[in-house]
Amino acid sequence: MSILKTRNLKKYYGGEPNMVKALDGINLEIEDGEFVAVVGTSGSGKSTLLHMLGGLDNPTEGIVTIAGNDISKMNQENLTVFRRRQIGFIFQNYNLVPMLNVYENMVLPLELDGKRKDARYLQQIITMLGLEEKLKNMPNQLSGGQQQRVAIGRALAGKPAIILADEPTGNLDSKTSQDVLGLLKMTSSKFHQTIVMITHNEEIAQLADRRIRIEDGRIVEGRWQE
C-alpha cells in the first residue's frame, strides 16, 4: 500500500522570463514502511520536494497524497494539524527548541496535540537512541549527534505516517553520521516506519531500500519500486 503519492507535482518560483522550475512534474509513490533516499545535487529541487511532501509549502500544481489525504487541498490550519499528527521532521540543523529540554523536545508534537504519552513506546525510543542519561539536558548542552538523535526521537514520538529527513547527517562528522544513519535504519526496520531521506551523498543513500535520483526538478531514476 502506498502511503505517499505525488501526481505531476510542480513548483515554480518567479515569473517569466526568469522562472525557476524547482519541481517540474514529479510522480512518486512510496510504500508503507519503505526507507527511501532522494538523491540529487544542490539546486536539483530535492529540498523543495521535501517541503511539498511535508506540507510546508504549497505546490504550484499537482497533488500530494499522504495516508490517503490530499494535502495540497488543505488549508493552512488543517495542514498544520495534519503535520503535527502525520509527519515527523528531521532537519540538517536539528531544529530543536532551545528552551525545552531533551524530553520536552521529544514529546512536543504529542503535547501540541494534547495526546496522552505512550510511556512504554517512548521508553523504547529513548533506549534505542541512547538518551536515557540526557533527558533533562538542554539542547545546547548536547553534541550535534546527540541533538540529531533527539530530533529522531521527536519525529518518532508522534508515530507519524511518514518521517521526512532533510540531510540528517549534513552537519555531523563522519563518526556521528554513522550513528545517526544506523538509528534511522533501525527506526525503519524496527518500527516499520516510512522514511524519506534527502541527501546528496550516495554512500548514505545506499542504506535506503530505494533510491530516487532527482535532477533539475525531475526524477531521473527510481520512480517506482523495482
Per CB under 8 A, which of residues 3..22 are in contact with other proteins?
13-14, 18, 20, 22
Confirm or reject binding of residue 54 to other proteins (CB under 8 A): yes
According to CB under 8 A, which residues from 69 to 88 bind other proteins? 69-70, 74, 76-85, 87
Residue from 6, 72, 92, 193 touching other proteins (CB under 8 A): that is: 92
Residue from 113, 136, 141, 225 touching other proteins (CB under 8 A): that is: 113
> Of the two residues 99 and 119, which places its CB atom closer to other proteins in the complex?
99
Confirm or reject binding of residue 132 to other proteins (CB under 8 A): no
Q: Taking Cα atoms as reference points, which of 209, 191, 195, 185 lies closest to residue 163?
A: 195
User: What's CA 33's distance to the chain center, in Å?
Assistant: 13
Confirm or reject binding of residue 67 to other proteins (CB under 8 A): yes
Q: Distance between terminal CA atoms of the chain?
A: 15
What grid cell was written down for 147?
A: 541533538
CA gap 90, 217 in Å, rounded: 22
CA atoms within 13 Å, Cβ hemisphere of 6: 26
Q: Report CA torsion sign: 13, 3, 215, 25.
A: negative
Q: How far is the CB of 27 from other proteins (least distance, A)?
A: 20
Residue from 100, 122, 135, 137 touching other proteins (CB under 8 A): that is: 100
Q: How far is the CB of 156 from other proteins (least distance, A)?
A: 13
CA gap 169, 162 in Å, rounded: 18
> Of the two residues 57 and 121, which places its CB atom closer to other proteins in the complex?
57
Q: How far is the CB of 162 from other proteins (least distance, A)?
A: 12
Supply φ then ψ for residue 155, to 5 degrees.
-65, -35
According to CB under 8 A, which residues from 158 to 197 bind other proteins? 159, 166-167, 170-171, 175-176, 178-179, 181-183, 185-186, 189-190
Q: What is the CA radius of gyration of the chain?
A: 17
CA gap 71, 61 in Å, rounded: 12
User: How many positions of this chain bind other proteins (CB under 8 A)?
Assistant: 82
